[in-house]
Amino acid sequence: MGNRFASSYRMWPRSLPLVGAAPQLNAALDINDPHGKGSLVSVSAWWDVPVLPTFRQTAYDFIGLIEAGSALCGVELLHRVHLLLPPLYSWGLALPDKPEEAFEEVIHAYRAPEPDLEALDRYQARWHAVFGDLQSRLEAGWEHYQEVFDPYADPSEEPVIGSLADDLADIYMDLMAGEHHWRAGNYDRAVWEWRFRFETHWSEHLTGALRAIRTLAAERDVGFPPPFSA
C-alpha cells in the first residue's frame, strides 16, 4: 500500500528501550517457546528455526516503536527506527522458505475463503491511522525523498517520490499480518506471511527508508543515533 510502489557477527540488541509500554508477548506464545504451551506441532514444522525468536522479538520492538505514538518526537523516532531497521532486515532475510512438501500437506483440504470486506475496511482504517500518526511526527522536510526502483534499469529510470511515513506504516502492517496468525496459533501461516511479504513488499520499504534516514542523519540535522551498549 502507499505511493512507493508505482507498479508495485555481533548480535544486535534483542530489545531496544522504548518510551511507553510496548505490546507484550502472549504468555502462552512466548518467543522462547514458539509452539505455545501444550500445542501440537506439525511433523513438517519447517518454520521452527533458531532465528525465529530473535526475528519475532525484533519485529515486536518495531511494532512497539510505531505504536509509541506521540511519546516520541520526530528525531527520537528516526533514531530508534535507524537502529531497528538493519537487524529487522537481517533476521527477515534469515527466515526459512516454506518447502513444497509443506504446501502439499494442506493443498487438498484448502478452500478459498469468502471475501471479507469488513476485514479489508478495518485494515485500510488501521493503515491510514498509522500513516497519519507517522506523518504528524515527521517534519515536512523529512518525509519525502527521491529514489529509483531499479538502479540497473537500461535506459535509466526517472526518480520517483518515496514517503517515510508510508514505508514505516507498510512495514508495520506486514509484520502485524504475521503476528495476527501467530497469536491465533497458526505458526506455519505466520512465518510464511513474514517471509513472503519480506520478499515481495516490506524489504523494499525497509531499504528505501533506511537509505533516506541515513541521508537525514549524515546530511541534514537529524544526526546518527547514540551508540548502544552490547
Closest CA relative to residue 93, chosen from 132, 54, 129: 54
Strands 160-163 and 144-147: antiparallel
Q: The whole model's pTM is what?
A: 0.77
> Which residue did the predictor score with more confidence, 68 or 1?
68
Residue 134: pLDDT over 70: yes
For 137-172, the pLDDT digits (tens) are 998 899 999 998 888 988 898 999 999 999 999 999
Residue 27: pLDDT over 80: no
51-97+140-220 is classed in which CATH architecture?
A: Up-down Bundle (1.20)
Grid cell for residue 179 = 503476528
Grid cell for residue 10 = 555481533
DSSP result, 120-177: HHHHHHHHHHHHHHHHHHS-HHHHEEEE-S-TT-SSPPPPEEEEHHHHHHHHHHHHHH
Residue 135: pLDDT over 80: yes
- Average pLDDT of the residues in 160-189: 95
What pLDDT is stored for residue 50 in this prediction?
Answer: 92
